[in-house]
């Protein structure tokens, strides 16, 4: 039988993951099928276990189930534990292993597609929710000069920064600070809003990165207006998928052609 994989979410019809993984499989000559499954809000566990019991080999997990996937996994990677969330499940020998590839996806996008190495850089991470938690450890592993977590609710920023042994606070703490990389991991872009940032937040030549993709957000417009170069999260989406594909299949696909294909589409 052809190996089966899936992405679970709710809603899920918008997901690009089936297209991405189909292209990875074509590119690497792997025989597999990958589908999108909308799990019931009240029975994510049941949906995943039914898929596994029907022969599923692995699954990706997107909102709002990443924390539930973390609890479902019997064994987890260090980066999954650091995030408190799982987006990649592997089923083998009756066990469920959980990983979080979001942070690796971000770092690989920066390194491979945007020619930006976080090592030695001053980084500002906006937000203290699940998206920010998923990328903190991989960013710190690159040994930046500074990682500062900023959030509207200051104590949440400080809690998250304590987890990654960095700095954190409310947006008011950003006055007088400047950064080489500013990452928007807040939900502000979903609502068409802009986090309250000082106008001089960007160092000369800084990169502004919005995890949202598929639209020109107020954050990206603000960054361009203040001299920063900009990037959306499409590359991160493809890179985190490539990380999951490599975990499952033992081969790493090329991401640049897939990113280009999605942009052209």
Catalytic positions, written as ranges? 66
Q: Residue 232 annotated as binding?
A: no
Q: Residue 112 annotated as binding?
A: no
Number of helices (H), then strands (E), in the chain: 10, 12
Q: Residue 159 annotated as binding?
A: no
Q: Residue 209 annotated as binding?
A: no
Q: Residue 120 annotated as binding?
A: no
Q: Residue 16 annotated as binding?
A: yes
Q: Residue 161 annotated as binding?
A: no
Q: Residue 121 annotated as binding?
A: no
Q: Residue 105 annotated as binding?
A: no
The closest alpha carbon to 177, from 209, 199, 208, belongs to: 199
Q: How far is the C-alpha of 37 from the C-alpha of 23, rounded, in Å? A: 19
**Helix (H, G, I), strand (E, B), or coil: what is residue 177?**
coil
Q: How far is the C-alpha of 210 from the C-alpha of 232, rounded, in Å? A: 5
Q: For 253, which DSSP code? A: P
Task: Give me the helices (H) in 89-186, please.
Answer: 102-108, 130-141, 154-163
Whether 129 and 185 have beta carbons less than 8 Å apart is answered as yes
Q: Residue 60 annotated as binding?
A: no
Q: Which two tokens stand for residue 228?
A: 């920063």
Q: From residue 145, how far is each of 166, 167, 179, 254 by CA, in Å?
A: 10, 11, 10, 30
Q: Residue 29 annotated as binding?
A: no
Instruction: Identify the residue whose tokens are 């400080």.
Output: 158
Q: Residue 131 annotated as binding?
A: yes
Residue 16: partners with Cβ closer than 8 Å, 6 or more residues away? 237, 262
Binding residues for NADP(+): 78, 127-131, 151-156, 211, 233
Binding residues: 15-17, 62, 78, 87, 102, 127-131, 151-156, 211, 213, 233, 240
């Amino acid at each position: 039988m052809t190996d089966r994989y899936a992405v679970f979410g709710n809603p899920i019809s918008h997901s690009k993951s089936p297209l991405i993984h189909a292209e990875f499989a074509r590119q690497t000559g792997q025989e597999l099928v990958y589908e999108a499954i909308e799990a019931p809000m009240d029975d994510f566990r049941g949906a995943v276990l039914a898929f596994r019991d029907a022969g599923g080999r692995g699954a990706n997990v997107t909102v709002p189930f990443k924390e539930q996937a973390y609890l479902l996994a019997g064994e987890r990677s260090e980066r999954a534990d650091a995030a408190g969330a799982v987006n990649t499940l592997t089923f083998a020998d009756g066990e469920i292993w959980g990983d979080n590839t979001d942070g690796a996806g971000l770092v690989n996008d920066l390194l491979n597609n945007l020619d930006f190495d976080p090592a030695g850089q001053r980084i500002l991470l906006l937000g203290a929710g699940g998206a920010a938690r998923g990328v903190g450890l991989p960013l710190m592993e690159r040994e930046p000069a500074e990682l500062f977590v900023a959030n509207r609710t200051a104590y949440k920023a400080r809690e998250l920064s304590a987890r990654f042994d960095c700095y954190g606070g409310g947006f008011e703490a950003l006055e007088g600070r400047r950064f080489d990389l500013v990452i928007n991991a807040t939900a502000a872009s979903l609502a068409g809003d802009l986090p309250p940032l000082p106008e001089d937040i960007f160092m000369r030549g800084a990169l502004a990165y919005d995890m949202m993709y598929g639209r020109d957000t107020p954050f990206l417009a603000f960054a361009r207006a203040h001299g920063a170069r900009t990037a959306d999260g499409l590359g991160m989406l493809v890179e985190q998928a490539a990380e999951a594909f490599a975990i499952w299949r033992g081969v790493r696909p090329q991401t640049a052609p897939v990113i280009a294909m999605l942009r052209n589409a």
